[in-house]
């Protein structure tokens, strides 16, 4: 007689993050692991992180074994935060004139959640807004990306959010670090007509 195989998987007992540690939750911002606890889920004992997200005043419960899949990660070290700040001051490739294409492209970058991706979105949308006013959805996306960048960099560099925001805008408004080889060509080429700010 065959013994019924045990389908119950052992609850993960090792955790990547510790209580009181600051972590980044993609599209949500920096949160703190308030506690790590076990809870019964469908008859199995599962380990959870309780994460408090200050920016939205929200608490989320994430299974430990799903955290990596959801993109939850540690705050980047100082070197990476400095690198992201350097990136927003650099020259970049022009982004699509079609705002819907731009929106999806930048939303996908934010979902990926790396600090470099977030900085790329901030830089691209800031400079696009200087060419033409952003549609409402893109403006919200820029504000969200800026908040995510400022939030993480302030923790990484141990600076106030207001100081980091000022630093970010100073970098954005500075001359590009690399010579803008394509800018003259782009200036000659008339920009294609773009839809109005009405996204619907």
pLDDT of residue 141: 96
Q: Are residues 60 and 131 in the same domain?
A: no
Q: Are residues 118 and 140 in the same domain?
A: yes
Q: Are residues 106 and 55 in the same domain?
A: no
Report how far residue 64's alpha carbon sits from residue 15's, in angstroms, rounded to the nearest whole number. Answer: 7
pLDDT of residue 178: 61
Residue 55 is classified by DSSP as G
Q: Are residues 42 and 137 in the same domain?
A: no
Q: Structure pTM?
A: 0.77
Q: Are residues 100 and 132 in the same domain?
A: yes
Q: Could you list the residue range(s) of the whole structural domain that residue 50 is in?
A: 22-74
Q: Are residues 119 and 171 in the same domain?
A: yes
3-state secondary structure of 72: coil
Residue bearing the bigger pLDDT, 193 or 99:
99
Q: Are residues 163 and 83 in the same domain?
A: yes
Q: Are residues 40 and 104 in the same domain?
A: no
Can you tell me the mean pLDDT for 93-102? 83
Q: Are residues 142 and 183 in the same domain?
A: yes
Q: Give the pLDDT band of residue 77 (cuts 50, 70, 90).
A: very high
Plot region of 33 (φ>0 → left; ψ -120 to 50 → alpha; else → beta): beta
Can you tell me the mean pLDDT for 155-179? 88
pLDDT at 91 over 60: yes
Q: Are residues 99 and 139 in the same domain?
A: yes
Report how far residue 59's alpha carbon sits from residue 63's, in angstroms, rounded to the nearest whole number. Answer: 13
**Domain membership flag for residue 109:** yes
pLDDT of residue 70: 92
Can you tell me the mean pLDDT for 123-146? 94
User: Computed over its alpha carbons, how large is the radius of gyration of the chain?
Assistant: 21
Q: Are residues 52 and 126 in the same domain?
A: no
Report how far residue 142's alpha carbon sits from residue 149's, in angstroms, rounded to the nearest whole number. Answer: 10
DSSP string, 145-193: HHHHHHHHHHHHHT--HHHHHHHHHHHHHSPPSS--TTHHHHHHSPPPP
């Amino acid at each position: 007689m065959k013994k019924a195989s045990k389908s119950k998987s052992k609850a993960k007992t090792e955790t990547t993050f510790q209580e009181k540690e600051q972590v980044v939750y993609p599209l949500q911002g920096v949160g703190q692991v308030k506690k790590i606890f076990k809870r019964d889920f469908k008859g199995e004992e599962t380990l959870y992180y309780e994460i408090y997200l200050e920016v939205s005043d929200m608490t989320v419960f994430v299974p430990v074994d799903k955290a990596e899949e959801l993109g939850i990660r540690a705050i980047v070290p100082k070197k990476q935060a400095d690198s992201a700040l350097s990136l927003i001051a650099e020259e970049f490739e022009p982004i699509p004139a079609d705002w819907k294409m731009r929106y999806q492209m930048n939303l996908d970058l934010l979902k990926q959640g790396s600090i470099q991706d977030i900085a790329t979105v901030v830089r691209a949308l800031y400079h696009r807004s200087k060419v033409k006013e952003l549609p409402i959805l893109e403006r919200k996306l820029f504000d969200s990306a800026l908040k995510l960048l400022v939030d993480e960099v302030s923790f990484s560099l141990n600076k106030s959010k207001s100081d980091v925001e000022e630093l970010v805008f100073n970098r954005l408004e500075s001359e590009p670090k690399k010579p803008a080889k394509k800018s003259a060509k782009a200036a000659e080429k008339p920009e294609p007509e773009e839809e109005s700010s009405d996204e619907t």
